[in-house]
Amino acid sequence: MKRSALGKGIAALIPEAPAARQPGVVDVPVTEIRPNPLQPRRRFTPDGLTELADSIREHGLLQPVVVSRAPDGGFHLVAGERRWRAAQLAGLARIPVVVREAAGDSDLLALALIENLQREDLTPIEEARAFHHLRIELGQSQEAIARQVGKDRSTVANALRLLQLPLELQELVDGGALSAGHARALVSVDDAQRQRELAERCVREGWSVRRLERALQPALRPARRGPDPDTMEAADRLALALGTRIEIRRRRRGGEIRLHFGSEDELIRLYRRLGGEES
């Protein structure tokens, strides 16, 4: 006896329809797509790519990548390089793309940067390098960059300062061993060797940003207590007796008496006086 479709739930009564394709999306061969030479993102972890490739094999590439037409034919990736790489691992011959017309390097970089920033895919150093490219090589002001990527000018300025760190420290930030907060604190240190020492301690001892900031604060000297009246009187009496300025400094246990002299002759006189050679 044929089983009723009702046993499969209401979904069985609704005919399956092919997934709706977004307007403007077309399929192109993966071999016709080349990485964006201005892609700010540089790190693609193998484990993450493998997991994404497994998902693509099972469900397909659900979100199209963004490309622009290359002058010499084919396409340049604008956004979605990680998905493009994973699609190749998954063995896809064609993938869905949205074609964006980019006017030049500035547009290519800005579009890639904005897409990565929105997805929070960039490390702080990758973001800083992208800002640097826009600032120096494409001649954009910090204000223009901030408007283009939807951030405050101070955010762009602080990001650019991270590139003042030694390259080995930039790599620690890139790899996640140091956070952007650690990096911003280390930039305030003038000496590169001191920066390296502090960075090593942060990594080795697991310092938080707050702990690093405390280490960078100037040591506060405890307020020096003035001498008590009896000590001051004793110093005055000795000064009158010896004919020179006297300081008495007490410690928790004991202390010291300092005699001041202004010339060799005065030193000899004090020596003789204390040695009993003068009355």
Going by C-alpha positions, the residue among 36, 29, 19, 27 that lies closest to residue 98 is 27
The Cα–Cα gap between 161 and 127 comes to 11
CA distances from 230 to 234, 241, 249, 257 (A): 6, 17, 12, 14
Alpha-carbon span 125 to 161, nearest angstrom: 10
Site of tokens 């009896």: 230
To the query of whether residue 81 is one of the catalytic residues in this protein, the response is yes
Query: Residues 91, 58: contact at Cβ < 8 Å?
Result: no
Active-site choice (16, 81, 168, 233): 81
- DSSP state, 13? G
Beta strand pairing status for 33-34 and 75-79?
A: parallel
Are 245 and 262 in contact by the 8 Å Cβ rule? The answer is no
Active site residues: 81
